Every structure is written in C-alpha cells, then in structure tokens.
A and B are shown apart, each in its own frame.
Chain A
Amino acid sequence: MKKARKIAPLFFCLLLGLSAFLAAQNLEQKVNFKKLANGLSVILVERHGAPVFSTVYGFKVGSVDETPGITGTAHLFEHMAFKGTPKIGTSDFEKEKPIMDKINQVGHEWSLELVKGDMADKEKLARLREELTKLEAEQKKYIVKDEIDLIYTNVGGVGLNAGTGTDQTSYIISLPSNQLELYCLMESERMKNTVLREFYIERSVIQEERKQTTEAVPTRMLNEIFMGAAFIAHPYNHPVVGWASDINSVTLEEARAFKSKYYTPNNCVLAIVGDIYPEKAWPLIERYFGGIPRGDDPPVLRTAEPKQIGERRVKIEFEAEPMLVMGFHKPTFPTKEDAAASVLSYVLTSGRTSRMYKDLVQDKQIAISVGAGSGPGSRYPNLMTFSGTPRYPHPVEELETAIMGHIEKVKTEPITERELQKVKNNLEASYIRSMSSNMGLAMTLMRYQLLFGDWKLYLKYKDIIAGITAADVMDFAKNCLTLENRTVAYLVRKAKAS
C-alpha cells in the first residue's frame, strides 16, 4: 500500500511458484485446513522463525466478473475496503451516516450527468460537484482518517495492501505474532461491515492510478489493446483497472451491489503462515470469522469465448520504442495442455540457456528480451502469450518472424530430454524456494484453494508436470500455436507529422 495498492496481477507467472517433488510431503504435513460452517476456507501453516506472521485472504471475484459499464468495480471496491466500517474510521457513525446517505444521492446524480460527456448540463454538473464538496467537508468532521492503516501501523504491521486481478481480489498484511487477535477482529469487521466512505474522492484516486499505471506505461497500454483483441466476448477482454469512462461514472450503489454478490465467506479463502499455533488460532478464527453469514452462491459467468477462426492483428501508436505481444487461446489449469504450455514457456524463454534467449537475444541480438507465459487469468480458458522487445534497428516484424520460427520448430522436432529434465529440476527448486517466505507461501496456497478448490493441487501439479512428455509439448504446439488461433499486437512510435 505504501505507494502502490495493487499487487501485480497474476499474469505470466504460472510457472513461478509451481510445485515439485522434494519437500511436498513436508508441506502437506504442515498445512492445517478447515472449512468453517459459513463456508470460509482457512489454511494455517506454522513456521516458527521470527515472531511474525503473514496473512492473505482472497475473494473469488475480479475484473472477469464485471459487465460493460461497471468495469473496474472489483478493483474500486478493493480500494473502498480500506475506508473503514461503522466502528473503524469514524468518531460518530450516527452523525456521519445521514451525511453519507446524502453524498450517495448527490454523487449518483452527478455521475449520471457526467456520463453524458459533451452533452452534460455544465451548470448542473458544477452545482452538484459543489454540493458534493460541501457534504464531503461536512463528513470529514467525523472521519478518523485511514484508521485501518493507522491501527496496523501502530502495532508494527508491514505491507498492508490489496490486489485485484482478473480472477481474484486479495488483502494482505504481515504482523508481529502477538497481534493475531487484532488481525481477526479487524478483518472480520471489514468483511462484515465495510462502509463506502469517501467514495468519490477514491474514485478520483483511481482515475490517477489508471493514468499512472496504464496510460503512461507502454507495456500496459499494449497489453490492454492486446487482450481486447484476443477476447471478443469473454470478459478477460477488459482491463482490471477498468475503462476510464467507467471509472469516472461508477456509482456507490453499483459498487455496493457488486460487493454484496461476491464478498461472502463461502467465496473466500484465508491463509495465515508464520509464527502461529493452530490450537490457539482456531478458536480466534472461529470466534471472529465464524459469525459472518453465508451468502448466496456468486453468479455464474455464462459467456464463453468463441473459437477463434482467423488471425487478429492490432497496433497502437505511442510515444515509446516498439514492442510486441502475441497470444494463442488454450485451456487453463489443471489440464495437460496448460502444463505443456508451462514446460514450453520454460524451454523457449526462461533463463540464458532457453532457445529464444540464446538465439534472439544473445546470438542474433534482434531483441533485448523475450518472454512467454499464460494469462490474463486462470479461472477460464486463457492464452499462451509471447512478448518481445526488439533491439534497434531491428523492426518489430523481424522479431515476430523469428519468434514464430521457434514456435514452428517445436511442432516438428521434439524438445530434448535434457530440456525437459531442466524444467523439472527448476520446478523442484522453485517449489522449495516458494516455502522460504511466509507471504509467498500464504498467497500460493490461498490461490490454489480459491481458484481451483483445493490447495493440494499446488502439490499435485508436480505429477502433472512429471507426466508431460516431449510428444505432449509437440501436440500442444500443433493444436494451439496456430496462425488462425493467434492475436498479434504491436506498439509502434507515433509517425511524426511531416
């Protein structure tokens, strides 16, 4: 939260932190798992190093659950979750409440007028804005500023933050180990009773967040247009932060309605890793989180991406040096195809001995970097992606051709046994390394439980990878990495006016 409240989305990182072999049993014994009666899943792992613990809880809701008009709402609500409750963040909720209701009403009217753009009644806009400003000043008398942050900061909490992705929204903090009860109180209160305090000011913050983290950043702008082209129907097609128009106009009521559908204990997983003792932690967790009422099952997403029936090419012009990204539709985790894609990503682009690095970056030097991955999320069928940064004066077209050359080669020649073994060795090591950080482990276990319904899939993934053969990789390349299944996006410098 210090500077950025958004954790980098889970793009392109399926390979990292995936499982392996050695310490699997060890971890399996260390994990305490329970599902409370209200449906909240809880994972505890004891690690008695320093007297600290890290926590994350995630709701299975992200930008993929948004519809046109309210894009960015999952993320916006994540910001609002830091604004307090009827207990926290206010000096007198009784007095504050009526002002908030008025803000809600005026803000709604103002937002509806704003949406009209050039057709908006300027006078009305100014009047409503002024009224809103007055009400906000009035409310401020009762606000205890950012009290959630204040309380945690005082007890030595670090890394209070939250992140929204396409698939999930998660909330994190690390605390000294004597603060477990405080944590349970604070977070159960937040889950139950978030108040959408200072909504319209925060909306303005997010407008700036979009400009800072997307509109001023070439890779992000390229990615936005790329996903928009690769997905024509499925909601993976819009950015997590939302379109500017929607961020400018989404109302407090819409945010509240969205939240109530998804922020239920039965749609949530909590993980705590560190210096905790389960026999002491369970009663606290039951006591504080157990009372949150179960909610309805979240709505089911009906829209499926239709089969792509021809190549798509898009381009943006931007004040920056060129780059490219391309993607191929594929099934998601935990399929064999997804595992084959992970292996292939590794063989082609991971490390200095990978094929594309050696050939394109080191030998031909037409690029300064190439990457491959899986994204933008993994709850639904997604893309295997390739990205590249060409080296001047090599044009982006040349890099595209060169990347495709490597992809074609995989379709006709099997990857070698040594390459396959190297992938497996590295997965094994990354699995061990993933257990060296409280927060890293908490986030990984939470994610597998939340998105795929079973944290043990994190361990089982080793079997899936171990079963992948060179023939599987070749089949995957032949079936998925085809021209008609491909979307290519270029970023090129704006042509200078002559």
Chain B
Amino acid sequence: MNAKKPIQGLIIGAVLIAITLTATAQKHPRELGPAPELKFKLTRPIQFTLGNGIQCFYMEDKELPLISIRGLFRGGSLYEPAEKAGLASLMGTVLRTGGTKKMTGDQINEELEFIAASIESSGGTEYISVSGNSLKKDFGKLVELYSDIIINPEFRQDKIDLARNQTLEGMRRRWDMPYQAAMLLFNEKLFGADTPFGRRATPATVKAVTREDLIAFNQKYFAPNNFYLGIVGDISLEEAKASIEKAFKGWAKKKVALPVIPKLTEKADGTIYYAYKDTPQGNVFMGHLGITQLNPDEFKIEVMNDILGGGGFTARLMKELRSNRGLTYGIYGGVYEGTGKDRGPFQIGSQLKANKFVEALEVIKGIIKDMQANPVTDEEIATAKNSLVNSFVFRFEQKGQILSQFMSLKLNGYPDNYLDTYIDNIRKVTKANIQEVAKKYMSPETMIFVIVGDEKKFDKPLSTFGKVKILDLNKIIAEERGEQK
C-alpha cells in the first residue's frame, strides 16, 4: 500500500493515512456504508409555438461550441399505400439528397461537409425525421440549408434512382444474416402481411414509386403545423427563436389529415414457422401482440420486463439461458409498446446452441409460465425497481437526450408530469402486480415461433415441440427478386 503521494490538504491527508492502515482487508460491497445522497434536479426543455404552428423545444448547452436541430413530422410508412411500400423511406432519404429548388444535393453535400456539419433525413414508421448539427459559428448556414430542405425540396430524379438502387441492393442482402431473416419473417407473421406494421417493402413496391409519389407524400405531411422542432446547444433562447422564425417565415399552415389505420388483430395461434438456412445456430423469435403506448399497466410491465428479459444478467432469460446453461451469447424479451396508436409485440429473441435448441425453447417457455404461476422473489423485484429508480438520472446525462426524450413524450401524448412521477410509479409496483401483468399480457401457449436454422443440427425435431409450418427461404427470396423458379 502506498501513502507517499502528494497530500492535497490537511484533512484529506489525515483521512488518507487512517484509511491506509485499514485497507488491507477488503470489504464486501454490502459492508460499505450508505452512499451519499444524490442531488438531482429534473431539467426540461422550454417549449413555444411559432405563429405558423411549428412546435418548438429548446435547451441551452454551453459546454461546447456545438448546436443541434432535431425535427419530426408525423407521417411515416404507416401511412403509405401497400403497393408502394417503401415510399416513406425513399421520400425521407431523397428529401436531403435530392436538393432544393436553389441547390442540388451535391452542392449541399459540399457546403456541409466542408464545415463539418451535417443534415440527415429519414423516413420511419410513424415519423419523418430531419436532423442537423454544426459548430456554433456555422449555425446560420446550417439553419438556412435546413429550412430550405424542408420547405423547398426538389426530389431530383437522379437521386431517386440512387436511393432506389441502394434500397434494392439492401433487399438482396437482407436475408444474408439468419437472425435478421428471422426478424423479418416474425414481423410479417406477428402483425400480418396485410397490415402496415407487418408488410415488407419489396423490390416490386419500391420500383412502383415515382417522383410524383414522393412529392405528393411530402406535400401531404410537410406543414409547419405538423412539425416538431428541437434546438439544443450553445445558443440563447432569443437567438434560437429569432433564427428559426426567420428561417421558416412565410411557410404557411395547411390541413394535414393522417389516414386512419385499421386496428391490428391477434393472429398468434401457436404455430412454429421454420425456415431452413445453412447456419451454425438456431435463430428464433417468439411472441404475440403486446401493448399500446399509455397502457395503464405500463409501470408494472416495465418492472416485469426487467425481470423477465430486459435488465442484463439479472434478468431470468439471460441468467438461465446464458449464465447457468451456456446456451446462448444473448437473449432478451418483454411486452413492448407499439409505434403509432397500435400494439407492439410481446417477443423474445435469441440465437441458440443448435444441439440444445429445442431444449432451450422449452426452458424459455417454462420461464414465462413460471412468471405467471408464481410471484417473483423479493430480491428480483427489489433489484428491478432499484435499477429503474437509481439509473433514472442517466436519462438526463446529455442535453440532447433530454430534448429528444421530451419531444417524444409530447408527440406520443404522454402527460407533462410523466417523468416527474415516474420514480413514484415504479416504486408502487408490487409482486402481485407483476404476476397479474404476466398473466394478462403473455400467453405462452398461443405464441408463434419463427425459426431460422438447420433442423438437422437440432437436438430434437421441431414437431416434438408443436405444430410446424415450413417456410421456403429460397422461394421467398426468388419471388421477391422476381426470378423464375
């Protein structure tokens, strides 16, 4: 033990010496006294609305000379026609790459990359997002380009072709990795190929999209009154307000109507879908429909998920399948919220040791049933709640993260005090609550399974585990590519 370090003050010096004498016998962490109290104040963005309806969120962050913008429009792939699936994604990409009335996409690239700034846009399930960031000194330029892209996109044909070709090549490659292939098939079987949640964009639907479609889709949803804009960084509120007011001046409100999406129906019937692929492990997704956002049981479910398959090595799935049995490198699962107004999945996914694959499926099913049949242990619920409560501060680690979090809560209709009451809501959850939601939201007997792998390598035929339907991956790929077979 070394105590010959420069001593940084008398009191500290004395402590150091005293400690040095007792440090040889190391304690168990539980023998440490209680940790000092953590001082933490919840910070939140300032919100304001511009005259033309843009809803703004602002946070100051003066630590570094950087500024970021995050914008969201409601209107993603949920709202595109089935025969043009992929439209929202293409529109999201070409919005940025296709340039504006004034500048080509290539000119924008040059301007931005030279000053180490970026603007990126993409189309998601429910939203189109447009984000930008730059050094403080270049913020004027950034905002000017940002608003030009949003108000005056040109969707030049060459960049539509580029984005389409890239998408098509991505589709050729999306079956290469077995776990990803299993996920694609699971989404289809879980939500239904005839729903906007379960259908896949294919080469045929992507080829059907025209420049007119992109423009129409863009015009339908790009309106200031459907726009949520966040700014975070080394900029004052007044400057931020003034610069966006100037940038979006004259951009007029219009009516935006989101198409109504038919409600999902439960399709899970216990079927095991098996697709052969020459690969070393058994890849599996299993589950059925989960919950919508703002579910009244959400805190109970959050704690249950943590115990079942969310919280690292303390979760049952990880503990049993990986740590106790060595059957996988990773496994997760839980009852999840959907995007939009509909339900997400209850799902469990893993890549499992092939020669113990069916055994592993049985173990997983057993874990779900046990969550329903018996209360979790005192230690499990305490750990899950402690974890959620004590790690809450990490939701506020970075200003940009705080901003995005508030925007997302606001957009999804959460109450304004959601985060203020979060810790109390988690603390209220009981063991009985967990058993109750385990029964209410999980149904192990009707779960569907999507399995990609080589059954010959499995410990037992899948038919010993349930009713099997074969999916022919080669046929799916050939049909998708429009090849004659």
User: Which residues of A pack against B, CB within 8 Å?
Assistant: 1-5, 22-23, 34, 36-38, 47, 49-52, 82, 87-88, 140, 145-146, 149-151, 153-158, 160, 174, 176-179, 181-182, 185-186, 188-189, 192, 198, 201-209, 211-213, 215-218, 279-280, 282-283, 286-288, 290-291, 319-321, 351-353, 358, 362, 365, 368, 389, 391-392, 418, 421-422, 425-426, 428-430, 432-433, 435-438
Contact = CB atoms under 8 A, between A and B. Distances in A.
Given A155-B390, A178-B38, A287-B20, A218 B177 contact: yes
A113 to B, nearest CB: 19
Interface stretch (B25-33, B208-216, B242-250): B25-33
Contacts of B314: 146, 149-150, 153
Most B CB contacts (10 A, CB to CB) among A38, A283, A392 go to A283
B362 to A, nearest CB: 18
A179 to B, nearest CB: 6
Contact of A178 (B16, B37, B115): B37
Contact of B109 (A157, A319, A351): A351
A205 B162 contact: no
B35 A204 contact: no
A425 B114 CA distance: 7
B403 to A, nearest CB: 14
Contacts of A211: 280-281, 351
Interface string B381-417: 0110011011111101111000000000000000000
Given A287-B23, A352-B106, 7 more contacts: A50-B394, A155-B390, A287-B16, A368-B169, A422-B113, A433-B66, A435-B64
A388 to B, nearest CB: 12
Interface stretch (B256-264, B318-326, B334-342): B318-326
A208 B326 contact: yes
B2 interface: yes
B277 interface: yes
B484 interface: no
A169 B12 CA distance: 33
A156 B12 contact: no
B162 A208 contact: no
Nearest to B24: A291
B387 A201 contact: no
B397 A156 contact: no
Contacts of A432: 64-66, 135
A353 B116 CA distance: 12
Contacts of A392: 168-169, 172
A219 B280 CA distance: 16
Interface string B304-316: 0000000111100
Nearest to A140: B324
A145 B319 contact: yes
A182 B390 contact: no
Interface string B256-293: 00000000000000000000011111010000000000
Contacts of B176: 218, 319-321
Question: Which range holds the interface residue count of chain B?
Answer: 35 or more
A437 B29 contact: no
B329 A213 contact: yes
B313 A146 contact: yes
Given A185-B26, A287-B16, A279 B8 contact: yes
B398 A436 contact: yes
Interface of B: 1-5, 8-9, 12, 15-16, 19-20, 23-24, 26-29, 32, 35-40, 63-66, 97, 106, 109-110, 113-117, 135, 162, 165-166, 168-170, 172-173, 176-179, 277-281, 283, 311-314, 319, 322-330, 332, 351-353, 382-383, 386-387, 389-394, 396-399
Most A CB contacts (10 A, CB to CB) among B37, B66, B397 go to B397
A375 B38 CA distance: 42
Contacts of B173: 320-321, 389
A174 B178 contact: no
Closest 9 CB pairs of A and B: A156-B390, A204-B326, A429-B116, A37-B2, A320-B176, A3-B330, A156-B391, A209-B329, A149-B313
A88 B26 CA distance: 11
Contact of B280 (A5, A192, A215, A425): A215
Contacts of A52: 393-394, 397
A32 to B, nearest CB: 11
30 contacts: A23-B64, A49-B397, A49-B399, A52-B393, A153-B312, A153-B387, A155-B386, A174-B394, A185-B26, A185-B32, A201-B323, A201-B324, A204-B353, A205-B328, A208-B353, A211-B351, A279-B12, A280-B12, A282-B5, A286-B20, A291-B1, A352-B97, A365-B165, A392-B168, A392-B172, A425-B115, A425-B116, A430-B116, A433-B64, A438-B397
Given A1-B313, A426-B113, A153 B280 contact: no
Nearest to B396: A50
A343 to B, nearest CB: 15
B281 A3 contact: no
A206 B176 CA distance: 22
